[in-house]
Structure 1
Amino acid sequence: MPAEDHHGLYARVRAWLPDVGLALGVFVALNVVGALIVGDGFDVTAAWISLPEGTGTSVFKAMLAATLIARGLGPLRRRWARALAAVCLLAVAAAAAWDTAVYFALLMKGRIATPLPFPSSVLVLALSLALAATAARPGPPRRWSSGQVARSLTIAAAVAWTLPLVLMLTFGPTRYAREADAIVVFGARVYRDGRPSHALADRVDEGVRLYHRGLAPIVIMSGAIDEDHGASEPEAMKARAIAAGVPAAAIVLDELGVDTAATVEVTAEWLQRRGARRVLAVSHYYHQPRVKLLFQRAGVLAYTVPATMSRRLLKEPWFVAREVLAYYAAWLAPFLPGR
C-alpha cells in the first residue's frame, strides 16, 4: 500500500475514533444506569474488561462513560477534562493488559484451550490507548451537519453489532473445561424420527467426552419437545449419550428448556436444591456469550465449553447474526414487557 494510502487510512480511522468512543460511552452508561435500576447482574462490561466490584468501580465507569460521550460530542476544551479522560482510558488499558497477561498464563498452564489465542482484551487495550490519545488532543468544536449525524449513527450501529460478535469469536471458542457439579447440554433441532441434527449430535458428543473425563457426575440434557412432530430433544440426546457409554442414572432430562433462558432457569433451580452452583455449559461457540450472561445473572458459575463441530453448519452465518440480536435481548430482558 502506498504511503499516501496509509496516511489516508490513518486519518479516516482517527476521524472515526470519537464516534466509536461516543457509542462505547453510551453502552457503558446504559450498563451503569441499568445496574442501578435492576441491581447486580445487569452490567455486562465485565465480559470485555475485568474491574474490581464495588461502588468505586461504578463511579469510575460513570466517569469513563461521561468522558467518552463528551469527547464524542466534540473536543474537550478544558485541560482537566482532557486529563481525566486520558487517565480513565489509561486505567482501562492497564486492566486490559492485565487481562491479556492472565489469559496467556492460563493458556500456557493448560487451564483453557482455544483454536484462536486472541483475547478480546487485546482489542480493548489497543482501542483504549487510541481513544486516550484522541481525548488528550485539543481541537475546534464539531459541526453537527446531517451528514455527520448520519455517520455517527452508522458507526454506533457498527459498534453495537461488533460488541457481541467479538465475544463470539474470542470468548466463544475458548474451552474452560474443569471440574463442576453438572454438565448442561443445550438442545437443538431433532428430526421427526428422533434423530438428532448435526448441531445437537455435536453438543451431546461434547458433553459425553466431558463426562468420560470425570469432570462432572451428572449430565443435564435440556431442550424442548418439537411442536410440529412431537419428538423430544432431551430424549434424543439421552439415547445418544447412553449409546456412547453414559449410564442412564447419570442423565437428567429437562424438557422445559424451550429456549436458553428456560434452560438456565431450570438448571439454576436444580443446582439450588442440591446446594451446588458450578456447571459446564455445552453449546456452539456463537451461543456461549449469551449462555454465560444468563447463567451469571442466575447466580450460577458456568464454565463454557464449545461443542467441537464435526462439520460447519450450513446456516452458521445466520445463527451468528441472529445471536447478536439474541444477546441484546437477553441483556435487556429485565426491561422488556412480560419479563
Structure 2
Amino acid sequence: MPSKIAASFYATLSITFWGISFVSTKAVLDKLDPYTVLVIRFGIGAIFLLCVLLVMRYPMKLSLRSIPSLIVLGILGVFVHQIIQATALLTIDASHAGWMISFSPVFTVFLSMVFLHEKVTLSRAIGIVSAIAGVILITTSRSGQGLEFAINIGYLLMLLSTLNWAVYGILLKRLPIPLPSLVITFYMSALSFLLTVPILVKSRGWQSLPFLSATEWGHLIFLGVFVSGIAYWYWGKAHEVLEASQASAFMYLEPLATLIAAVLLLHEKIFFQSIAGGVIIIVGVVFVNGQVWNLIRLLKKRRI
C-alpha cells in the first residue's frame, strides 16, 4: 500500500490528466461524435491496461462477490460519467468544464450530510452558497458576442457529472473489491468499452476515423492511455490510503490543468468572470471541507 506522500502524488497526476482530458475531448469533437470518442478511448485504455497486467503478471481472477461492485463502479464512474462530460463539451468551453468539475467536493459533503446525517456547520453553509455563486458566474459568463445567459444543457450536464463523481468517490471507498487497483481499473475500462460498442455500431462512428489528423489521434491515444488507463488506476491507488474527502481536495488542481491546456492547445479566450467564478467555487469548497477553520486554529496554536 502506498504512503500518503505517494498517494498524494498519484492523486495529483490523476487530476492533472483528467483536467487536460476536457481539452483533448473538445479537440476531437469536431470530427467525431461523443460516443465514438468514448468507445475508441475505452478500447485503447483497456488494451493498454491489459498489456500492463500481462507484463506485471497480475492475477486477474474475479470472485463472484466482486462482480456486482465492479459493474456499479464501471457503469457509474466510467461509462455514465464520461458520456455526460463528452456530451456537455459539445456546447461549453473546456475551461468552463474544468472550473465546474471542482464543484464535486461540495456534492460529496452534501451527500454525507443527507445520508450520513453529518451536521450543517456555518463553514459548510458559507461554502455551499459561495460555490453555487461561482457556478452561476461561470454559466452566465461572457461569450464572444457579448453578455448572455448561457444556462444550457452543457452546464446542467457538467453539474450532473460532478454529482455523479461524488457518488463514485464514496462508492469506490465503500464497495469491497479485494483486487489491486490496476485490475479494477482494467475491468471497469473493459466494461465501458463493451457498453459503448453497440452505440458505435449503430451510429457507424468508425467512418470518421480515416479523416482524423495525427494531432487528433494523439489526443485519442492520450485519452485512452493516460486518462482512461493511468488516471483511473492511480486514483484507485490514492483511495487505498486517502479518505474520500481528502482525495476530493485534489480536485482544486483540475481547473488549473484544464485552463492551461485550453489556452495552449485550443486557444480558448478566458474571461475574467469565468475565472472569478472558478476561484469562488474553489474558495467555497475550501469552506465546505472546513479547511479554513483548521488553518485558523493551527495559526492560533502557533501564536500561543
Task: Give the TM-score of the pair, scaled to structure 2.
Answer: 0.29
Q: With CA pairs under 8 Å and 6+ residues apart, which has the higher RCO, 1 or 2? A: 2
Q: Which has the higher helix share?
A: 2
